[in-house]
Amino acid sequence: MSTFRHPGTVLTDHVIEVPLDHDDPGGETITLFAREVAATDGAERPWLLFLQGGPGSASPRPIGRDSWLDRALRDYRVLLLDQRGTGRSTRVGRNSVLRRGGPQEQARYLSHFRADSIVRDAELLRRRLLGGAPWSVLGQSFGGFCAVTYLSTAPAGLREVLITGGLPGLTATAEDVYRAAYPRVAAKNAAHFARYPDDAAAVRAIATYLLEHDVRLPDGAPLSAAWFQTLGLALGSSTGSHELHYLVEDAFDAPGALSDVFLDRVRQRLSLLATPLYALLHEAIYAQGEGPTAWAAHRVRAEHPQFDATADAPVLFTGEMIYPWQFAADPGLTPMREAAELLAARADWPALYDPASLAANEVPVVAAVYYDDMYVDRDHSLRTASAIRGARAWVTNEHEHDGLRVSSGAVLDRLIAMARGNA
């Protein structure tokens, strides 16, 4: 355990060993890392566990009291957990996965990195740090999914739950998720092209060039029109439309010549070398034993021909979808292609949520539901809010999915007030 200081904060690092498979507590272990952030006044405050979005993203690396932390530290001692497979917890990457053996062994290993395992990790960490006392949880996006799993399986460990953009559909399959998502993504495209009308011609020119030429990114990966379309992932964030505009306006050095600046920026945005779990488990986070996900985003896309870049129509960006061909295109994913196919074919994923337990919930639960959220379906979220006894939802179009991060503490302040009965 090490401690250091930033302006206005004291940070303490915690490391424990946890079972890879919680159903085999005497078996292989992995490392779990979490960083405690406390105010410098030395006052005792209750603990707040932060569960990051993803899957596959490490917790924030704060500098002082930046972003929502400033508001949180007025009321809490914050614990930033690197969920298993990310950051300084035992990290999942192409080399570590390949060391597991063949594709079957790799897929078996990767199956232990969903929300159910993350919650059981958190419970071991809570008992280590707090003994028997419960703590509060703040879940952002996928972190909110984990928080609902926590409410389903270990509510005794929870003092209160705050969720932003992360109420999952309790029974929604991966197909349900993407069938609801494509129209939302199309709407985000329409808003983007209304804001930047010249981008429609620019995007068409880029896509046409990619359809007609063999274009390679600086790392040698082949850039297809379909892969270019996945840059639409950015459209769900508060600044993503503007960032996408600035990206496409610099695409060509001259007619018929894509610029190196453009290609390198595209590589940085598309590569999942640093976050492979995002691709490997993206559909598995919705799987609950009702058949395989079987590349649901890819299959459902066929129902939405407006996303076909070869059609004689405006080229639309896609959103938060993972497609099987990305495991052939992205050098960071290619070595795990066979394992990804096995994960997509798995039909017996354990349940992540317990509707009966949630219906009997006694833990205070408040959630920000972003009305125009591109990533998490509003209707799925509101049905879940009504299924969790006592849960309160704040529905707003003031913020996008990243409202927690960009609102200077306003979103968290509203949730804390709701949890205290003051809003």
Is residue 259 annotated as part of the catalytic site, yes or no? no
390: exposed, middle or buried (C-beta count within 10 Å: 0-12, 13-18, 19+)?
Answer: exposed
Q: Which of 24, 250, 253, 348 is catalytic?
A: 348
Q: Which of 141, 241, 381, 407 is catalytic?
A: 141
Owner of token pair 């919680």? 22
CA distances from 210 to 59, 106, 229, 304 (A): 36, 34, 11, 21
Is residue 260 annotated as part of the catalytic site, yes or no? no
Phi and psi, residue 84, nearest 5°: -45, 135
Please spell the DSSP secondary structure of 301-329, one letter per residue: HTT-GGG-TTSSSPPPP--S---TTHHHH
The CA R_g of the chain, rounded to the nearest whole Å, is: 22
CA distances from 15 to 52, 82, 92 (A): 18, 10, 17
Helix (H) or strand (E) holding 29: strand 29-39
d(CA 8, CA 12): 14
Q: Which of 89, 380, 401, 407 is catalytic?
A: 401
d(CA 372, CA 180): 13
Is residue 141 annotated as part of the catalytic site, yes or no? yes
Whether the Cβ atoms of residue 282 and residue 160 lie closer than 8 Å to each other: no
Take residue 103 and report the two structure tokens written for it. Answer: 């594709």
230 closest CA partner among 312, 321, 304: 321
Which three-class secondary structure state does DSSP give residue 51? strand
d(CA 36, CA 3): 9
Take residue 216 and report the two structure tokens written for it. Answer: 């390679």
d(CA 376, CA 385): 13
Owner of token pair 């001259």? 254
Helix (H) or strand (E) holding 202: helix 199-212
Which three-class secondary structure state does DSSP give residue 422? coil
Catalytic residues: 141, 348, 401
